[in-house]
Amino acid sequence: MLPDTMLEDRSRDVSQLLERADVRAAGEHILATDDKTLADQVDLTEIPAPPFGEDARGRRMAELLGAAGLSNVEQDSVGNVVALRPGAEDREPLVLSAHLDTVFPAGTDVTVHTDGDLFRAPGVSDDGRGLAALVTVARALSQADITTRTPILFAATVGEEGSGDLRGVRHLFESGGVATDAAGFISLDGAGMKYVVTRALGARRFQVVLSGQGGHSWINYGAPNPIHALGRAIGALASWPLPTDPALSLTVARWGGGTSVNAIPAEAWAELDFRSESIGHLDVGEERLRAVLDRSVVEENAGVTDQDGRLCVDVTVVGSRPAGVTALDSPLVEAALAATRASGVEPEVTASSTDANLPMSLGIPAITLGAGGSAGAVHTTDEWYHNGNGSIGIQRALHTVLLVSGLD
């Protein structure tokens, strides 16, 4: 955490910010339109947005951002919804983002069930809340007629979750992208008020396929069995003392193989996920995975002289999220911590895996904030969002943006 004196300096900046009539008007608009924000949250949540199926939600998001006062809203070639709000000065933009996609497959019932301030539905927090907050910040800036010095690029991204592999935010920051030289990046992801994500939890994901000839369970007994080999490899990985400081996690998420109970399978497969704040530890995990698989295949092939009957293994990287960090003395982090404290909450910095991973890995100051309220059972069909002080979280985001972008 930053020294108290530094936070006190930034807290004074927040106090001066809140003395401005236009900033107070924007904050009051957020409070007064809380019902509108929740209606947008429900509206967006009930539009399915499975991985690689975000287009319909993107079109609705474009409509809402246009109605919020942004005049140049468009969907780019991968499906991101982007709109640049001009600043008083010609400089690189600050990106304010939320993600369109959910983890839930096509066909999932995303109807929102409401009980007072409690909302239940898959994706209602992650990231229905962030998307609604993004719209509300745009509307508050327009209603209060605020002009920032730095332009603000509003972005609703595709592909943040799972197999999307950050494809939306990658497109924004790749060579020639609209955010290539961004001044900073703020992701609004889910609910909450306390945490400021300053460290990117990197991930590397693999699909493993072991292949052989297979055969009859009696007639061909003794032939190499890919499930046996895969099982030994998984057992060896599960008993491996994982690196620490920073930690490395390993999850064998899915596996399978075979076609019949009376047949030696011709194939076995698994999907695995390593996570760490250290790219070096992710490299160590990958090296261990490949070595364990190779050894297990050699053991299963022992005594087999027919080359056609031997097992082989194929390891494919199916996802790679970069790690990174935004320094605590970055003006962006200082602003977020001060805005959090000014909201009546003592801030904490933490690590997570979000769209902010990509700009962090490029050396661009980036953080992730929750958009107020609280949530639980995220990434399950029982996901819920509770709107206690929800609008305060959106005010925190607004104040962070204004502290960093400056006012004309």
CA–CA separation, 157 and 127 (whole Å)? 11
Please give the average per-residue pLDDT across 86-113, as a whole number: 97
In tens, the pLDDT along 295-309 reads 999 999 998 878 778
Does the pTM of the predicted model rise above 0.95?
no
Domains of the chain listed by start with CATH number: 4-201+323-405 (3.40.630.10), 202-321 (3.30.70.360)
pLDDT for 151: 98
* pLDDT given at position 3: 56
Encode 130-163: b = buried (16+ Cβ within 10 Å), e = exposed: bbbbbbbbbbbbbbbebebebbbbbbbbbbbbbe
Q: Find residue 374's DSSP bridge partners.
A: 386
% of the chain with per-residue pLDDT over 90: 92
Q: Pick the range with the lowest mean pLDDT from 9-13, 139-143, 193-197, 316-320.
A: 9-13
pLDDT value, residue 295: 97
Separation CA 318–CA 267 (nearest Å): 19
The pLDDT mean for the chain works out to 95
Per-residue model confidence (pLDDT) at position 324? 95
Rounded to whole angstroms, how far apart are CA atoms 40 and 132? 6
Whether 363 and 397 have beta carbons less than 8 Å apart is answered as no
pLDDT average, residue stretch 99-117: 97
Q: Which residues contact residue 60 at a Cβ distance below 8 angstroms, ignoring those fewer than 6 apart?
A: 43, 44, 47
pLDDT band (50, 70, 90) for residue 7: low
Instruction: Please state the separation of Cα 257 from the chain's center in Å.
Output: 31
Residue 4: predicted pLDDT:
62
pLDDT of residue 141: 98
Query: Measured in Å, how far apart are the chain's first and last C-alpha atoms?
Result: 30
pLDDT at 1: 54
Residue with the two structure tokens 């595709």: 158
Q: How far apart are CA 176 and CA 73, in angstroms?
A: 19
235-244 average pLDDT score: 96
Mean pLDDT of 41-52: 98
